[in-house]
């Protein structure tokens, strides 16, 4: 087969010769040379037509036309640079951000936190039966079972295990969570070599005497030890014992918890109050992970391991264990399924909205452009282009746009998840490699959308009434009025969607702000919260002793105990008032609580020391409670019944604290007296430097009970900590909200700009007839603003509905999202409306400034 057709010159030559031969014959027949040639040419037919057909049939023709189309496309797109950039940015941002955020959410919720071969990773979650459950951590495995798996399992190889350990590093107040690990932990997680030093060796993993070594994460090395070049070999103290640092991991390693380090598992007894689980090998404490051997599926592995486990069960009469193999992701953690599904839905909802916004934007822009090119299409058709050819050309243009946008999205999808994940220090590192499946899917969708949007005007423009189009009239957007339906609807839809996103962002941001500035007279900086966990039985005597000792520390003004902190949500109880059950929140506190936390009394006073009156329990109610249960009356002395029928007598009314306003609450708050034996958390009001007092408290507590686990921080730090967890989420949502606004505004700008350009003739005539600039501007803006209002109204309604739904979900949060914040619901629409009007203003001004002669000449 001959693939390369003969060259054009060659063919021309041949055809010329052909004509020549015929001419010769004609001359032989007696014609004059000119007549002969004319006759010959006539007989031949159209030479140029033949050449065209020949050219079209060449094998390279398709490729040539493609290249030509690309050139045309680029040229035509660069003639309207703003539009091109707007479309590329919009599509690119839309797809890219969508994928980026989804990758993050995916990484956090659905994928296991491991970078190397996540598909073969499995985590074992056994459920031991009653009596054999771990006191320490749920779903952990015993050492004997672990060894059984290691020796007998065939479907899963390469077992590794870790366990949590609490410890204070050096002179920290807070305890951090560290990991006790088996020797192969690091290679299991895909880390072959540390950044510095080495990992644990076999001796250290087996022999507790040799195991006083740690590996620290890069972040700790930099933050805590100021990147000490001599860190290897340096001794640090952990829980007061000396440990030598032998290695440092590279940055962003996913195998650890925030600010935690790694210790060989042989050192377990040190962190578990001396209980040795190597000797007491039937105590569960390990989280076991493994890799599926090739050829085995998860269910097969599950079956095999369950069999091994039931063999193990026989060693312990009455023990029955169920085994679940998970892929290690958060979503598969027992009990988290529903929460994860809810969160995922919420996120995907927002992302889809954003993507839809981007697509409508692009559609609008391209449609506007299509209408402006009607004349061009008419000319091309008149010059003889086939419809197929024009469609191919327009399609290529669409592809160029989509291709450029695709590159931008790919870049965003790659870089943004890293940036987002790094935003919050509170989170451990998640594996945020983009999920190519999702990306391809998203890409296809937007490609289809882009091409359709590119083709729709094409198809429309081809159904052209040539004469009318050449004169600049006729067609779809012929009316050139932003009131015209398709465009108006698109504007409205865009505005609605942006408003929803904006409101969501605003609500979250506001909650975050309120939370951070929540102090409300509590003076959180001077309030220490001490959480104690003692192995010993809690007793009244113990608590009394603690209270006394701590009260004697210099700087301590007041000491009290409470079940729940002032900011956190309290327990819900039902109380009976006059026989009717009502919901209320309750906190169990000691009498000094109110003074410790600086909550003033409005009426009455706190519980008396004796604590009992007339056979009932004393309670203190909050302002809000009083107003709700006994409006307009003095509640002191009044009684209620609790759900068990016990009488509750009101001793006093305390001021409502901010938490009640912030929380969506299950009811107003009241306080009951904490049992003598109950501990809860200790609240200490200090004067002077809180950290010094904290050290003293710690020392004191250690004296009383050396095994006690103590966590001590100021109220303000706690709040900041909670806030920081939400920080990144709020950041992301705010960002999405801003992007939504930008998209909506550019969309509106684009549409109005085009409509104005198309109305230049009309506007020119108006100006010539005497309209002032102001009138023109006003007419453009007013016409455009109608769909915006409709959009705002729809958006508001949907946001409101969404907020109601969110309120239900948000009750789970430790503090609540103020979902009915009027500020946001008003500011959002106003902001968006203002932006929309500003967007319309610019092209309106241009239009008004146009010279009537130019306008009229534009035809």
Binding interface with other proteins (CB under 8 A): 1-3, 5-6, 11, 13-15, 17-18, 20-22, 24, 43-47, 49-50, 53-54, 57, 59
The encoded tokens of residue 642 equal 């609790």
Report the residue number, 15 or 339, with the smaller CB distance to other proteins. 15
Minimum gap (Å) between residue 47 Cβ and other proteins: 6
Q: Which is nearer to other proteins, 11 or 423 (CB)?
A: 11
Radius of gyration of the chain from its Cα atoms, rounded to whole angstroms? 38
**b/e per residue 804-827 (b: at least 16 CB within 10 A):** eebeeebeeeebbbbbebeebbee
- Specify which residues 242 forms β-bridges with: 237
What tokens were used for 466? 């040539």
Q: Which is nearer to other proteins, 22 or 623 (CB)?
A: 22
Q: Which two tokens stand for residue 117?
A: 């071969």
Query: CA 818, CA 823: separation in Å to the nearest integer?
Result: 11
- How far apart are the C-alpha atoms of 121 and 197, rounded to whole Å? 27
CB of 393 to other proteins, least distance (A): 24
| Pair 302, 155: CB distance under 8 Å | no
Q: Which two tokens stand for residue 808?
A: 């239900």
Instruction: Phi first, then psi: give them for residue 247, nearest 5 degrees.
Output: -160, 160
Q: Which H/E stretch holds residue 168?
A: none
Six-digit token string for 491: 């504007």
Please identify, using beta-carbon distances, which residue of 46 and 352 lies nearer to other proteins: 46
Q: Which is nearer to other proteins, 2 or 230 (CB)?
A: 2
Whichever of 38 and 300 has its CB closer to other proteins, that residue is 38
C-alpha closest to that of 381 among 470, 473, 476:
470
CA distance 772 to 778: 10
* Residue number with CB closer to other proteins (56 or 707): 56
For residue 198 the two structure tokens come to: 């080495």
What is the closest distance, in whole angstroms, from the C-beta atom of residue 73 to other proteins in the complex? 29
Nearer to other proteins, 22 or 435 (CB): 22
Nearer to other proteins, 39 or 794 (CB): 39
**DSSP per-residue string spanning 633-693:** S--TT-EEEETTS-EEEEEEEEPPPHHHHHS--SS-EEEEEPPSS---EEEEEESS-HHHH
Beta-carbon contacts of residue 800 (< 8 Å; ≥ 6 apart): 825
Report d(CA 673, CA 257) in Å as an integer: 38
Q: Which is nearer to other proteins, 3 or 233 (CB)?
A: 3
* Nearer Cβ to other proteins (1/769): 1
The nearest distance, CB 387 to other proteins, in angstroms, is 22
Which of residues 1 and 226 has its CB atom nearest to other proteins in the complex?
A: 1
What is the three-state SS of 788-824? HHHHHHHHHHHHHHHHHHHHHHHCCCCCCCCCCCHHH
Q: Rounded to the nearest whole angstrom, what is the least distance from the CB of residue 37 to other proteins in the complex?
A: 14
Confirm if 328 and 113 have CB atoms less than 8 A apart: yes
Closest CA to 231 of 268, 194, 256: 194
Q: How far is the CB of 53 from other proteins (least distance, A)?
A: 4
CB of 385 to other proteins, least distance (A): 20
Minimum CB separation of residue 61 from other proteins in Å reads: 12
User: How far apart, in whole angstroms, are the C-alpha atoms of residue 438 and residue 118?
Assistant: 17
Strand partners, 179: 164, 262
Count of CB atoms within 10 A of residue 676's CB?
13
Identify which of residues 10 and 465 has a Cβ nearer to other proteins in the complex: 10
Minimum distance between the CB of residue 30 and other proteins, rounded to whole angstroms? 16
Q: What is the DSSP letter of 262?
A: E
Q: How many residues does the chain have?
A: 859
Smallest distance, other proteins to C-beta of residue 835, A: 60
What are φ and ψ of residue 550, in 5° steps?
-65, -35
Question: From the CB of 382, what's the least distance to other proteins, in Å?
Answer: 25
Please give the structure tokens belonging to residue 830: 């106003």
How far apart, in whole angstroms, are the C-alpha atoms of residue 740 and residue 495? 9
- Between 23 and 622, name the residue whose CB sits nearer to other proteins: 23
- Shortest Å, Cβ 65 to other proteins: 17
Rounded-to-10 torsion of CA 215, 217, 223, 225? 20
Strands 617-622 and 647-654: parallel
Looking at the Cβ atoms of 55 and 845, the one nearer to other proteins is: 55
**Which is closer to other proteins, CB of 41 or CB of 74?**
41
| Cα separation of the two ends of the chain | 54
Written as six digits, the tokens of 771 are 């309209």
Give min distance, CB of 492 to other proteins, in A: 55
Q: Which tokens belong to 214?
A: 């740690």
**Contact (Cβ atoms closer than 8 angstroms) between residue 84 and residue 454:** no
Q: How far is the CB of 45 from other proteins (least distance, A)?
A: 3
CA distance 712 to 695: 9
Tell the smallest beta-carbon distance from residue 32 to other proteins (Å).
Answer: 18
Which one, 17 or 539, has the nearer CB to other proteins? 17
**Least distance (Å) from other proteins to the CB of residue 35?**
17
| Nearest-angstrom CA–CA distance, 702 and 708 | 7
> What is the spatial distance between Cα 401 and Cα 635, in angstroms, rounded to a whole number?
71
CB of 57 to other proteins, least distance (A): 6
């Amino acid at each position: 087969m001959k693939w390369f057709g003969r060259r054009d010159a060659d063919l021309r030559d041949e055809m010329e010769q052909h004509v020549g031969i015929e001419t010769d014959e004609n001359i032989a027949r007696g014609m004059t040379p000119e007549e002969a040639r004319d006759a010959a040419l006539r007989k031949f037919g159209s030479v140029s037509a033949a050449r065209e057909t020949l050219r079209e049939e060449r094998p390279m023709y398709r490729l040539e036309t493609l290249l030509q189309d690309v050139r045309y496309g680029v040229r035509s797109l660069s003639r309207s640079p703003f539009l091109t950039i707007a479309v590329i940015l919009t599509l690119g941002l839309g797809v890219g951000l969508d994928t980026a955020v989804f990758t993050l959410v995916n990484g956090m919720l659905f994928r296991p936190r491991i970078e190397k071969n996540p598909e073969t990773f499995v985590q074992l979650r056994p459920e031991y039966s009653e009596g054999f459950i771990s006191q320490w951590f749920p779903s952990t495995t015993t050492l004997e079972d672990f060894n059984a798996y290691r020796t007998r399992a065939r479907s899963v190889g390469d077992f590794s295990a870790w366990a949590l350990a609490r410890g204070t590093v050096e002179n920290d107040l807070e305890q951090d969570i560290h990991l006790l690990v088996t020797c192969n932990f690091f290679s299991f997680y895909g880390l072959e070599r540390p950044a510095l030093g080495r990992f644990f060796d076999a001796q250290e993993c087996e022999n507790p005497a040799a195991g006083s070594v740690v590996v620290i994460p890069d972040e700790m090395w930099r933050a805590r030890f100021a990147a000490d070049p001599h860190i290897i070999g340096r001794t640090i103290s952990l829980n007061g014992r000396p440990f030598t640092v032998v290695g440092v991991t590279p940055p962003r390693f996913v195998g650890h918890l925030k600010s935690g380090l790694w210790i060989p598992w042989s050192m377990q007894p040190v962190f578990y109050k001396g209980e040795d689980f190597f000797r007491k090998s039937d105590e569960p404490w390990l989280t076991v992970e493994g890799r599926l051997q090739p050829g085995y599926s998860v269910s097969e592995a599950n079956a095999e391991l369950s069999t091994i486990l039931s063999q193990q069960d026989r060693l312990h009469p009455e023990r029955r264990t169920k085994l679940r193999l998970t892929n290690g992701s958060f979503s598969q953690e027992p009990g988290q399924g529903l929460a994860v599904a809810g969160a995922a839905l919420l996120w995907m909802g927002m992302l889809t909205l954003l993507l839809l916004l981007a697509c409508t934007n692009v559609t609008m822009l391209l449609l506007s452009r299509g209408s402006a090119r009607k004349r061009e299409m008419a000319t091309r058709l008149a010059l003889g282009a086939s419809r197929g050819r024009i469609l191919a050309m327009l399609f290529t243009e669409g592809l160029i746009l989509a291709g450029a946008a695709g590159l931008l999205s790919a870049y965003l999808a790659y870089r943004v998840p890293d940036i987002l994940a790094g935003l919050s220090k509170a989170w451990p590192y998640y594996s945020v490699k983009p999920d190519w499946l999702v990306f391809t899917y998203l890409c296809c969708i937007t490609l289809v959308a882009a091409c359709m949007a590119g083709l729709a005007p094409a198809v429309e423009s081809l159904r052209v009434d040539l004469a009318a189009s050449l004169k600049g009239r006729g067609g779809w957007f012929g009316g050139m009025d932003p009131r015209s339906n398709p465009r108006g609807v698109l504007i409205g839809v865009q505005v609605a969607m942006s408003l929803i996103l904006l409101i969501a962002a605003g609500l979250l941001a506001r909650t975050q702000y309120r939370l951070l500035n929540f102090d409300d007279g509590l003076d959180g900086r001077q309030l220490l919260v001490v959480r104690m966990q003692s192995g010993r039985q809690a007793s009244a005597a113990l608590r009394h002793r603690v209270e006394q000792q701590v009260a004697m520390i210099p700087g301590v003004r007041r000491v009290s105990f409470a079940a729940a902190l002032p900011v956190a949500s309290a327990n819900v109880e039902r109380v009976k008032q006059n026989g009717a059950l009502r919901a209320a929140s309750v906190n169990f506190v000691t009498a000094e609580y109110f003074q410790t936390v600086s909550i003033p009394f409005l009426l009455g006073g706190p519980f008396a020391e004796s604590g009992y009156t007339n056979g009932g329990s004393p309670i203190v109610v909050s302002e809000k409670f009083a107003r709700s249960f006994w409006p307009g009356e003095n509640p002191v002395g009044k009684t209620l019944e609790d759900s068990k029928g016990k009488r509750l007598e009101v001793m006093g009314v305390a001021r409502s604290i901010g938490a009640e306003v912030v929380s969506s609450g299950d009811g107003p708050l009241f306080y009951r007296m904490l049992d003598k034996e109950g501990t809860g958390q200790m609240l200490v009001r200090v004067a002077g430097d809180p950290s010094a007092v904290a050290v003293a408290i710690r020392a004191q507590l250690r004296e009383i009970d050396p095994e006690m686990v103590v966590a001590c921080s100021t109220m303000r730090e706690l709040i900041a900590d909670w806030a920081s967890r939400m920080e990144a989420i709020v950041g992301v949502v705010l960002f999405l909200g801003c992007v939504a606004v930008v998209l909506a505004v550019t969309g509106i700008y684009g549409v109005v700009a085009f409509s104005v350009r198309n109305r230049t003739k009309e506007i020119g005539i108006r100006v010539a007839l005497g309209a002032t600039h102001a009138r023109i501007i006003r007419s453009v803006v007013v016409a455009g603003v109608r769909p915006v209002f409709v959009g705002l109204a729809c958006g508001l309604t949907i946001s409101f509905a969404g907020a109601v739904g969110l309120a239900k979900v948000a009750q789970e949060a430790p503090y609540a999202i103020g979902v009915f914040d009027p500020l946001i619901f008003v500011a959002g629409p106003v902001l968006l409306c203002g932006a929309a009007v500003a967007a319309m203003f610019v092209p309106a001004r241009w239009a008004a400034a146009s010279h009537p002669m130019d306008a009229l000449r534009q035809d």
